[in-house]
Amino acid sequence: MSRAGELVNRMAKLGTPGPPPALQEPAPANGRRERGPARPVHYTIDLDPELHRSLRIYALERRVDAAAVIRALLELLDQEQVAELVDQRLDR
């Protein structure tokens, strides 16, 4: 199971509610939802200025967008060793 799937399971166990009814998409008249490409989700974070500078330099040196670097890092969370390292950092 992916890290995202594990997070959803943890949230369900904690009783975290789903989106409010106003944010849920209404079901189509025929009762079937068509699956199309998933829409990107916007996420905003605050970074320490030095961490932000490091991210920008890293991305510039590789000629990629900083968001691409962050996406690649997040995808690495599916690897158990990386997830363990992140867990260690969070337990400070």
DSSP notation for 43-89: ------HHHHHHHHHHHHHHTS-HHHHHHHHHHGGGSHHHHHHHHHH
Q: Which domain covers residue 50, as residue numbers?
A: 42-92
Torsion of CA 71, 73, 76, 77, to 10 degrees: -90
Q: Which one-letter amino acid corresponds to residue 84?
A: E
Tens of pLDDT, residues 64-85: 999 999 999 999 999 999 999 9
Please, which pLDDT band fits residue 7 given cuts at 50, 70 and 90? low
Reported pTM: 0.56
Number of separate domains in the chain = 1
The answer to whether residue 91 is domain-embedded is yes
In a domain? residue 84: yes
Residue 82 lies in a domain: yes
